[in-house]
Chains A and B, each alone.
Chain A
Amino acid sequence: MIESFNKNIKGILINEKNPEEMIKSFKNNIKGILIEGLTLSSAIIIIAIVVVMFTVIFIGGKDQITWEFLTSFPEDGMTKGGIFPAIYGTALLVILMSIAAVPFGTITAIYLTEYAKESSIIAKTIRFAVRTLAVIPSIIYGLFGLGFFIKFVGTQMDNAFLGGELKWGQPNILWASLTMSLLTLPVVIVSVEEALKTVPKELRAASLALGATKWQTIWKVVIPGSISGIMTGTILAVSRGAGEVAPILFTGVAYYVATLPASLSDQFMVLGYHIYVMTTQSANVDQTMPIQFGTTLVLLMLTFILNFSAIILRYRIRKKKID
């Protein structure tokens, strides 16, 4: 950076014999400095935004985070106490979500890299569908969860097994996790695909040459070779799922539940929704301010740690590919 600035400045100072040339090169170098400076400052502004956001939330919430805050229930209309049920609900949500999303995502990625031909219409359509899934607004998933899982599947289940008694036809943690797993499916697919591509062709060829079938090769050679990629995908999906609120707004989240969710048909609390309700719907916003910052910091740290480990894992995979 500094070197190239120096070069530009040198370019200005060097005396050229032709004065016209000199002026031209002077102008060019000024432009160069301007453009490089402008682009650099954009990058700096973005980094500054990230740093400021993190610092502000960290300073606002760091005193709030104690062992008690993390492990106790909310009290006095959320103005006191901790956020344990929200942490527990978030954890349960992402675990159930991963159970659904990771196997399906991994299998789809295996199909795309191992079975489908790159140019076939089926593979192209699936890829397009995956990318579309990634850009559909999260609130649409919420609507879908409500219309499909709760109103359609849930009501059918109630009619079939419970004789119309309302159990599954209402928001609960199962539907919320399934809705969330649809949202995180593309995240898993993309990272697993990337990892599968790093497994060298020679390994596959060697396995096939030794007489293994295609499935045996995939199961014994390709999947073990890309396990870190599957982990990256899972971590990224978990971090996404932990932070999203819109898909679960009407599929199972609750502002306050007195007990921890014990069965799949219970409602639950989530960190993100807790923040949202406390900041916008609560009657005493000022009173709960420290708790809001504390909850936000907990959520941010959670996603931060998850993302950080995913980034490190991914860089390791990419390095492996280069080597």
Chain B
Amino acid sequence: MTKKPKKAKSNRSDTGLIDITQKKFRWSDYLAEKIIKGVAFLSIAIIVLIFFFVFRESLPIFDSAKPLEVTQTIGDSSVQETYGEVTDQPVAEDVQETYGEVTDQPVAEDVQETYGEVTDSSTITSSADSSYTVSAGSGFDDNRTALKSLNGKKWYPVSEKPRFGLWPLIIGTFKITIISILFAAPLAIMAALYTASFAGRRLKEIIKPTIEMLAGFPSVVIGFFALMILASFLQDIFHYETRLNSFVGGIAMGIAAIPIIFTITEDALTAVPKTFYEASLALGASKWQTAFFVILPAATPGIFAAVLLGIGRVFGETMIALMATGNAAQMGLNPFESVRTLAATIGAEMAEVVFGDTHYNVLFLIGSLLFIFTFVINAIAEFYVKGKLMKRIQGK
């Protein structure tokens, strides 16, 4: 914009002719460009803001010098009960408790208050509402204990002595992620290979839109399906004890991840240059040999990216985890046990928590972890894989 007029002026002085490419400077044009540019920066700003605000709410955890105002959360018993009690675990690390000078908790009155306020209002709103009406009660220094307990093996956020051990949640999340990727990745990749290499045009026009439709299934619908039908169906086959467990949740999340893996893999497979295909056929390879030994290896970085993004999708999935995994924070590695994922923990407990509470901060900390994890996964998929793919296809 700024360069062109200058050039035009110099043209005129040199030749004495009027350059027809010269355009009048217009304010409307200038403004439009600036506004458009400003709006475009919004997406970057949103990312920064998300990171800043989610992380900010979790900061008080690390600030152990400052006493935090803490209230006992409301509705604690209901949370514990509805999600099936955890089988008792050996009380191995009572180390945390020694740190806490938290002997008595004078917080019972606050609980009463909130219930009163909720029933006053004419509407029965979600329990999220009630938590906002409560202000923090008595203060006692317990975030030092909270910080220490993050490394623990117990997630008892609403017990007398709250403990925020993240390991059961992390293990639960990884367990589900592994199960769902083991289920979804082979299916999606092979289906993509079929669509890209073998399928005729008509079949392609059935497969691709159907999988696009699957991408449009709301996760709450998939969760409903898993909870109502899939759970009983799988239980009939495998005869395990708990109906809702990481296996059911994993399969359901796999269903949600299939369209992502399929679409990106298919893109990667079709992006392999035609010359690869032709060269392979010219050397006497058959169609399937070309597909399996030439096209598939050439597209591996893209497939890797697809699987990574599938992992990202499963890792942060909330509604399916809430509905189909049983939601009990357990450490075991058995796939047929109930688990509780990081995202589901936020979804289930944020509504019952008090603003500014340690529990509240811990939930935001979990949110920051999820954010960082997905951000890194996306960055790897974006930069590392793309660079590799380009190199491989260009044969450098």
Which A residues are within 8 Å of any B CB, using their own CB? 1, 4, 28, 31-32, 35-36, 38-40, 42-43, 45-47, 49-50, 53, 56-57, 60, 104, 107-108, 110-112, 115-116, 125-126, 128-133, 135-144, 146-148, 151-152, 166, 169-171, 182, 185-186, 189, 213-216, 218, 239, 242-246, 249-250, 253-259, 267, 272-273, 275-277, 279-281, 292-293, 296, 299-300, 303-304, 306-308, 311
The answer on a CB contact under 8 Å between A130 and B43 is: yes
- Secondary structure at the B interface, as helix, strand, loop or mixed, is helix
The answer on a CB contact under 8 Å between B318 and A139 is: yes
The answer on a CB contact under 8 Å between B42 and A50 is: no
CA distance A42 to B262 in the complex (A): 11
The answer on a CB contact under 8 Å between A1 and B199 is: yes
Say yes or no for B390: interface residue by CB 8 A criterion: no
Contact residues, B331-366 vs A (CB, 8 A) = 343, 346-347, 350-351, 355, 363-364
The answer on a CB contact under 8 Å between A279 and B50 is: no
B182 CB to nearest A CB, Å = 14
Say yes or no for B124: interface residue by CB 8 A criterion: yes
B344 CB to nearest A CB, Å = 9
Please tell me which one of the listed residues A36, A186, A213, A276 contacts residue B29 in the complex, with CB atoms under 8 A apart: A213
The answer on a CB contact under 8 Å between A189 and B124 is: no
Which B residues are within 8 Å of any A CB, using their own CB? 23, 26, 28-29, 32-33, 35-37, 39-44, 46-47, 49-50, 53-54, 56-57, 82, 122-126, 128-129, 132, 186-188, 190-191, 193-195, 197-200, 203, 206-207, 209-214, 216-225, 227-229, 255, 258, 262, 286-289, 291-292, 309, 312-313, 315-319, 322-323, 343, 346-347, 350-351, 355, 363-364, 367, 370-371, 374-375, 377-379, 382
- Contacts A137-B374, A249-B350 hold; do A144 and B53 have CB atoms under 8 A apart? yes
Please tell me which one of the listed residues A4, A146, A275, A311 contacts residue B350 in the complex, with CB atoms under 8 A apart: A146
- Contacts A125-B44, A137-B317 hold; do A257 and B123 have CB atoms under 8 A apart? yes
B256 CB to nearest A CB, Å = 11
**For A281, what are the chain B residues with a Cβ–Cβ distance below 8 Å?**
82
Top 10 closest pairs, chain A to chain B, by CB: A137-B316, A243-B218, A39-B194, A111-B40, A307-B216, A42-B190, A43-B191, A32-B288, A246-B318, A254-B125
**For B123, what are the chain A residues with a Cβ–Cβ distance below 8 Å?**
254, 256-259, 267
The answer on a CB contact under 8 Å between B220 and A275 is: yes
**For A213, what are the chain B residues with a Cβ–Cβ distance below 8 Å?**
23, 26, 28-29
- Contacts A147-B56, A276-B319, A280-B323 hold; do A182 and B46 have CB atoms under 8 A apart? yes
Please tell me which one of the listed residues B57, B209, B218, B228 contacts residue A279 in the complex, with CB atoms under 8 A apart: B228
A194 CB to nearest B CB, Å = 13
Q: Which of B32, B36, B225 is the most central at the interface, judged by chain A CB atoms within 10 Å of its CB?
A: B36
B64 CB to nearest A CB, Å = 21
A222 CB to nearest B CB, Å = 12
CA distance A272 to B219 in the complex (A): 9
**For B318, what are the chain A residues with a Cβ–Cβ distance below 8 Å?**
137-139, 245-246, 249
Chain B residue nearest to A292 (CB atoms) is B224
Chain B residue nearest to A2 (CB atoms) is B200
Please tell me which one of the listed residues B40, B216, B225, B375 contacts residue A108 in the complex, with CB atoms under 8 A apart: B40
The answer on a CB contact under 8 Å between A107 and B40 is: yes
Question: Would you mind naming 14 contact pairs between A and B with Cβ atoms under 8 Å apart?
Answer: A31-B288, A36-B288, A39-B190, A43-B199, A107-B35, A140-B370, A140-B374, A147-B56, A249-B351, A250-B128, A256-B123, A258-B123, A273-B220, A296-B221
CA distance A256 to B312 in the complex (A): 33
CA distance A303 to B218 in the complex (A): 8
A212 CB to nearest B CB, Å = 10
**For A276, what are the chain B residues with a Cβ–Cβ distance below 8 Å?**
220, 223, 319, 322-323
Please tell me which one of the listed residues A143, A170, A299 contacts residue B367 in the complex, with CB atoms under 8 A apart: A143
CA distance A146 to B132 in the complex (A): 11
The answer on a CB contact under 8 Å between B221 and A299 is: yes
CA distance A136 to B375 in the complex (A): 7
CA distance A49 to B23 in the complex (A): 59
B48 CB to nearest A CB, Å = 9
The answer on a CB contact under 8 Å between B343 and A137 is: yes
CA distance A254 to B122 in the complex (A): 13
**For A107, what are the chain B residues with a Cβ–Cβ distance below 8 Å?**
35-36, 39-40
Q: Which of A135, A185, A249, A258 is the most central at the interface, judged by chain B CB atoms within 10 Å of its CB?
A: A135
**For A116, what are the chain B residues with a Cβ–Cβ distance below 8 Å?**
40
The answer on a CB contact under 8 Å between B319 and A246 is: yes
Please tell me which one of the listed residues A46, A215, A246, A299 contacts residue B214 in the complex, with CB atoms under 8 A apart: A46
CA distance A116 to B191 in the complex (A): 37
